[in-house]
Structure 1
């Protein structure tokens, strides 16, 4: 194996970026770009304070114990590896719920860090559900218990929108200009949606504050791309064989992309030379990635996981699944995209299939399948709705939706139970308990979930029939039969 080792630049303790969501993707994406920038320029003014908002404090403490250094293993394939040491994170904090049920161990430290003038950017990777927005309409979920708690006690926020509102309120009171808020999550118009969540929550507190946020705070959009599977014991063992004993290490692909709307009133790193694409409009790139890459991943997850297929690599090793992805990307997703002149979507589809076939990554389908109710509106359903309005069918998306409905039953084709990790999992379980023996009623119940499925798409008889037919095919004939049926229709 060819291994390139890259040492971290010296740590300096100077922080200008606060990140909400100290997970694997942040450590393997934004932090890597900032590490490259620091190594190239020697500019130490853009260190990061990263806060974990999730339930576990272990990562926060482990990173602190390691002196805020960790490794990212970037695999081009099974024979080419870059081992990159990262030291740009200067601080780790915890504002989630601990094992005793208490909230916000480091919340005041986090808010204090966000209020000081030196903090100029706040970035987020909190997943789609972390914004507490209705996936279909984009409205703030004011009745969610977490958001309700932030409305009742805004000085002790539990959610990312609540933390942003409280920090911005304190900056305004102190006469400090607002930081820029940069979402790095897989949502269409992620900057606009973040802005909407923050303003709507602020309105519940103080209309003067919400007006100030609306007119003074920048929320640029961004598109992020890098495949970063969840770490497993086998992954840590693989790194240990290379001499890397690091509990905070992350494995990802060599490919990475970051496209950012260039709107940073308080300044930003000059990071274009390190691969960050600064553009006036992120939307075309964002939609392309969501519908083609993420949409393909979701197809593999919901079709493959119940069949016992464990990883993306195993899935695309099947010719029929690769053919499905190619058809979906080129016939259903690509025609809905409005890309800049010169964009070759066929070449992009080929590049994605090549990335999926990276045999060094173990990207589990069950990981991709998490939070489907939050992801599918932007990955499949918005495109299917656009095709419906143009008088076109979406058989691949219909098959995917049928597979998702089947997946939410929580049992694979052999009858083995698995966890359905989704905010709406109790509602799914109720639907299956009530309608599990009646496919038509079950599909109708899922299509009626207007916080997931756009009502105009659910009301389309052709699409609804396609989903029902695909569901019956999956449950009666299995994956092979469903794929053969779809392929036969296109022959």
Structure 2
């Protein structure tokens, strides 16, 4: 096995694993098998995959009438290192660390979500006081986090005189390779300055941009697959579209991904920023505003013209001025393609799923857009409305009063802020004071704060339709 993957979720199985499966089928090169591990949750998936000899199916939907079924077998081992039902950690940790320390392991890929790197979303610094990071500092040979596991594995490789593997982050973060590098080196420095220096000089951390819509599986999805003759509890559904842009920095070698359509570049940043702000930023607008209006899915939201107008205005007038792209990239065409993808009637991509972990996502999806536009004098109306919607969403009820769980690392903080601040202005001030989320330049911009407060009052007093109508010229 040449690759170890951390974060065995649906996205990895529908994206990176599919590229590698196609590559192996095309070339016959079996040296790039994958050992994949879940680090915190998902033990039942790991066990089911092991029972199925690590094979599963991917259903790629062009629309509700056209689907391609693909069997994937590139994952050769599924492991779990999180907390089990007996409350003990690290069931398969020894196996995972052995795989990471093996000479034939040349690449480590990650999809552990933004919060899995334990970085302050606003400053990018390691959250050294987080209990999980503290556990890795106090017990480095028994790590729980992705940064801790990488540090321990690299320490073992260094001690054994082995070359370092390449670390490829595949999560939706700007400069994701550099942010991963920062987390790993900061944690290593606390343990051993010489190790941190070795990592800084010997480990490659290329950045990447990944794009494929992969909703969480529902009973409806499994029932649809059964009607097609497929009974696979490990199956995932996704759209037909897939994109992967990777910085080509792999000292230990890599698969020839480009033969399967992967774009290998020297700098992924323009593509990464475009995708985060246009696709993911649009998704977040739909998630918070749509969920507040009791809308269930992306498809349901973009089926309503006011939401389509919102996205067109956001992408065209607020995001596009902040992007500097290669000449061959047509941003208007890209925006149109996103609206078409969102309108895929076969994907039930739930808005509450997209709304998870907003505190970790919004700085790079919206707030960097707002910073740039406030400096240049461009519009910030859509981001202001989105931020107002997010603040209202964190109260845990829709505008009609339906309750839901706020799934976010800062959910307890949000609840305390809402409890303590009943006045709209005080509430907005309290959220703007969250240094882990809101950059200082945004927090101190009174004009933008007033814009968010006005949007919040419109949402709560007059509803979504009026808030969207207020964006019209």
- Is the contact made by 1:140 and 1:197 (CA closer than 8 Å) also made in structure 2? yes
Residue ranges of structure 2 left out of the alignment (5+ in a row)? none
Encode CA deviations 1:337-373: one digit per residue, 9 max, x unaligned: 0101121100000000000000000000000000000
Task: Quote how far apart the aligned CAs of 1:54 are.
Answer: 2.2
- TM superposition shift of 1:439: 0.3
Q: 1: distance between equivalents of 2:87 and 2:291?
A: 33
Tell me if 1:314 matches 2:300: yes
Asked whether the equivalents of residues 5 and 36 of structure 2 are also in contact (C-alpha less than 8 Å), the reply is yes
2:231 maps to 245
Question: 3-state DSSP class of the match of 2:191?
Answer: coil
Query: What SS does structure 2 have at the residue aligned with 1:38?
Result: helix
- The answer for the alignment partner of 1:21 in structure 2 is 7
Which stretches of structure 1, 4 residues or longer, exceed 6 Å deviation after superposition?
A: none
**Corresponding residue for residue 485 of structure 1:** 470
CA–CA separation in structure 1 for the residues paired with 2:465 and 2:330 = 31
Give the whole-Å Cα distance in 1 for the aligned partners of 2:374 and 2:88. Answer: 48
Q: Could you tell me which of 449, 458, 463 is aligned with 1:473?
A: 458
- Whole-angstrom CA distance in 2 between matches of 1:376 and 1:98: 31
Counterparts of 1:48 and 1:392, CA distance in 2: 46
Name 1:9's counterpart in structure 2: none
Q: Could you tell me which residue of structure 2 aligns to residue 3 of structure 1?
A: none
Contact in 2 for aligned 1:393/1:463 (Cα 8 Å) = no
For residues 292 and 341 of structure 2, the distance between their equivalents in structure 1, rounded to whole angstroms, comes to 23
Provide the alpha-carbon RMSD of the alignment: 0.6
The number of residues matched between the two structures is 473
- CA–CA distance in structure 2, aligned partners of residues 56 and 252 of structure 1: 19
Alpha-carbon distance in 2 for matches of 1:283, 1:428: 32
| TM-score scaled by length of structure 1 | 0.96
Q: What's the counterpart of residue 232 of structure 1?
A: 218
For residue 444 of structure 1, the aligned residue among 429, 438, 460 is 429
> CA–CA distance in 2 between the matches of 1:330 and 1:187?
22
- Confirm or deny: 8 A CA contact 1:56 1:97 kept in the other structure: no
- Whether 2:54 is the aligned partner of 1:68: answer yes
Q: Distance in 1 between matches of 2:206 and 2:42?
A: 29
**Residues 97-143 of structure 1 deviation map (CA, whole Å, 9 limit, x = unaligned):** 11121101000100000000100000000000000000011000000
For residues 221-272 of structure 1, give each alpha carbon's deviation from its aligned partner in whole angstroms, at most 9, with x where no partner exists. Answer: 0000000000011111110111111010000000000000000000000110
Partner secondary structure for residue 239 of structure 1 = helix
Decide whether the 8 Å contact of 2:292 with 2:389 is kept in 1.
no
2-structure distance, mates of 1:347, 1:354: 11
Determine if contact 2:287/2:352 at 8 Å carries over to the other structure.
yes
Q: 5+ unaligned residues in a row in structure 1: which ranges? A: 1-14
Q: What's the TM-score, normalizing by structure 2? A: 0.99
Q: 1:127 aligns with which of 113, 116, 131?
A: 113
Maintained 8 Å contact 1:56/1:98: no
1:31 Cα deviation (Å)?
0.3
1:461: Cα distance to partner?
A: 1.4
CA distance in 2, matches of 1:485, 1:207: 55
1:58 to 44, 62, 78: 44
**Does 2:388 match 1:402?**
yes
